[in-house]
Chain A
Amino acid sequence: MRQTEIRTETSIRAGIARLLARAAESRSLNVEDLFNRVERCLQKYLLKDDPLASEKDIVAFIEGLQADDLCLVVACERGDEMAWSDLVQRYSVLVKSAARGATSNEDTAEELAQSVWAELHGLKPSVDGRPAGKIAYYSGRGSLGGWLRAVVSQLAVDYHRKTSKMVQPEEEHDFDHLVRNASVEYNLGGSSTANPEIAVVEGRAATDVERALSEAIASLEAEERLLIKLYYFDGLRLHEAGTVLGVHEATASRRLNRAHLKLRKRVEELLVSHYGWTPVEVKASLAQIACELGLDIETMLKADNVDNQETIRNKK
């Protein structure tokens, strides 16, 4: 075990040396300056899920780090004023742009951008007297620009939570939706016939289908479930969902079709095994539900469009 640790440490040091060599601007840093940060990054992203990672994997992981961004950030953390100046000069526009995207107006965006730099620099000094800011959390795995956008997004959420004025109209908006949906659900169960008994039966059938669907979604693989959420719940297009997953649009489409098939089979199995349906009932009921759902979704979409227009008017 000890030998493994020694070998790992040797590999890390060798990897850091190569990282400094390939950096365009190493900012007078040495292996010791980067060792702790790289080791933390390794533990977080590789060794936590794969403790038996080989030296080759460790070397490949360190090779994938952003050398220049990491050197810049570590130099900033060490109090290098020149490095801070470079950081602000290079990324001030990006931070402002991300802040504008996360907020509704220019003033808020300006405030948000200023708070980002403050958070990065850190208001409270650390034990050794150096500023302890969020910049210490950058691992070098992704790009510094992307990390700054993520920081802006998270700070924007916190900023929105602090300002209650932005939240309130949405809450009222949500309440209206709840009322409308309750009536729609009721209509789904009783839309096909005036007979209350049949309506109850149909209502139970719909409930069974909904529950089976929930269980079927939960049984999907993580990436399939994520794709379903991105496409249906987040309203992304296929190529956008593919971008998030890091695959081509056609690949995303194929995966979505596969997920549909899996869901259908799982729903049918659950309806038969858990809810006592017969295969004939399954096929017949699903067809009927599809017809009714079509009408229902149309109604819901219309209502949703109206609400969106109101929200836009309120924001203006």
Chain B
Amino acid sequence: MANDQEKVIEMLLRRRALQRNSEGSSAGVPSERSSPHLDADELNAYAEGALPSVTRSRYSMHLADCDNCRRVVTQLALAAGSTRPSMPLETASAKWLGRLHAIFSARVLRYAIPVLVLLSITTVVIVTMRSRDDQPLIARNDRPDIQTIPPAAQEQPPVLSKESERTEAGRAETPADTPADTDRTPSIAQKAPTGEAIPTRPQTDAVPQPVRAAPAPVQQNTVRDDVESEYATKTAKAKKDESADRLSKEESARVAAAPASGSEVTPRRVEEPTAAAPPADFRVGAARARPKEQRQETLTKEQDTEETRSVSGRRFRRQGQAWIDTAYSSSMAVTNVRRSSEQYRSLVADEPGIRAIADQLDGEIIVVWKRRAYRIY
């Protein structure tokens, strides 16, 4: 219905136009309502769209009523329209485009661009500074051994500093075979896996000990060992003298206490701790290695002697401050593993049995595992 009614309007307009064209236009005489005719300059300016909007509206009013001027404008517009760029399309989205144009106008961009540049520079600087701050953390994490070694571990003197005085030919002896010899400790032929002796501790009186070739940080282990060995050397000598004096006193006291009983005096090493009063260094090592409850349990569970101990199906004998696996022989290659090192953690992760032994025995341990000797200290 609406379309029919619109058709009516269209038809009425067409009919009126035909009638008017047939009658001839009244273009020569301007109507009462219309303004005076437009001159050539005004006609041309209108046709080329070079008028302000208010002026254009005024001219449109005249052109709507004046056929002559409208005809000239039409001719000029069509002649100019062939060379003018295409007119913009007035769509519903033109408003949005207008708004976008206003947002991204030169006036706005003049201020927005410097602000954006400043923001991006600030962001880059902040990100760069944060990444630099993170690097020390990463660096710190790469050096756990030196940082994370507890003081107690550092104080533990490597017993092998004394053992290193022995020659390569010396073998580990069982308590039954070996007379009491405070200074005798099993000689350990420290050999590198490849057969070459690689000095790990810069000890003046020590046999060069090989360094276990860890998969990646070989150099780090060497450096750590050097630092530790230097410290260990200093403390070892001091404690060695102290323990030697103490044990000698205890030995003499014991001998004096039971000279006629005929009981077999189990020779005790100088470094061997008594059950009643363990030496200070042993206590330090124990505190580091095992909690008190575990020590008590070990003593109750295992066959506990002053000189030997059975742990996890293996027998260890005490030699000085160290527990030596009875299966160990001096011909075996020994791998040194510090308890708090990454190497140790890797080892016990791979071999939980070693961990069980290390947890139950304090101090230095030499354990034979899968035909390989590990010195855990």
Q: How large is the interface on B (under 10, 10 to 19, 20 to 34, 35 or more residues)?
A: 35 or more
Residue among A64, A143, A267 having the largest count of chain B Cβ atoms under 10 Å: A143
Interface residues of A in 113-166 (CB under 8 A from B): 134, 137-139, 141-143, 146-147, 149-151, 153-154, 157
Whether A46 sits at the interface, judged by CB under 8 Å, is yes
Chain B proximity of A229: nearest CB distance (Å): 6
Partner of A247, one of B17, B44, B90: B90
Interface residues of A in 170-187 (CB under 8 A from B): 170-171, 174, 177-178, 180-181
Whole-angstrom distance between the alpha carbons of A49 and B6 in the complex? Answer: 36
Give the number of A-B contacts (CB < 8 Å): 197
- Give chain A residues whose Cβ lies under 8 Å from the Cβ of B21: 177, 233, 304
- Give chain B residues whose Cβ lies under 8 Å from the Cβ of A139: 41, 45
Chain A proximity of B211: nearest CB distance (Å): 84
| Interface residue total, chain A, C-beta cutoff 8 A | 73
Q: Would you call B81 and A251 a contact (CB within 8 A)?
A: no
Q: Would you call A240 and B44 a contact (CB within 8 A)?
A: no
Partner of B51, one of A45, A151, A260: A45
Whole-angstrom distance between the alpha carbons of A153 and B38 in the complex? Answer: 12
Whether B15 sits at the interface, judged by CB under 8 Å, is yes
Q: Would you call A50 and B54 a contact (CB within 8 A)?
A: yes
Q: A233-B21, A246-B87, A248-B88 are in contact. Are A49 and B58 (CB under 8 A)?
A: yes
Q: Would you call A226 and B15 a contact (CB within 8 A)?
A: no
Partner of A149, one of B12, B67, B79: B79
Partner of A232, one of B13, B55, B57, B76: B13
Q: A230-B70, A250-B89, A301-B18 are in contact. Are A260 and B44 (CB under 8 A)?
A: no
- Give chain B residues whose Cβ lies under 8 Å from the Cβ of A17: none
Whether A296 sits at the interface, judged by CB under 8 Å, is yes
Q: Residues of A at under 8 Å CB distance from B? A: 45-46, 48-50, 57, 61, 64, 101, 134, 137-139, 141-143, 146-147, 149-151, 153-154, 157, 170-171, 174, 177-178, 180-181, 209-210, 213, 222-223, 225-226, 228-230, 232-236, 240, 242-244, 246-248, 250-251, 254, 260-261, 263-264, 267, 283, 286-287, 289-290, 293-294, 296-297, 300-301, 304
Q: Would you call A222 and B90 a contact (CB within 8 A)?
A: no
Q: List 26 A-B contacts (CB under 8 A).
A: A45-B45, A49-B52, A64-B50, A142-B50, A147-B41, A147-B44, A157-B68, A171-B24, A213-B13, A222-B60, A226-B70, A232-B17, A233-B67, A234-B70, A234-B71, A235-B17, A240-B78, A243-B78, A260-B10, A264-B9, A267-B9, A290-B11, A297-B15, A300-B18, A300-B19, A301-B18
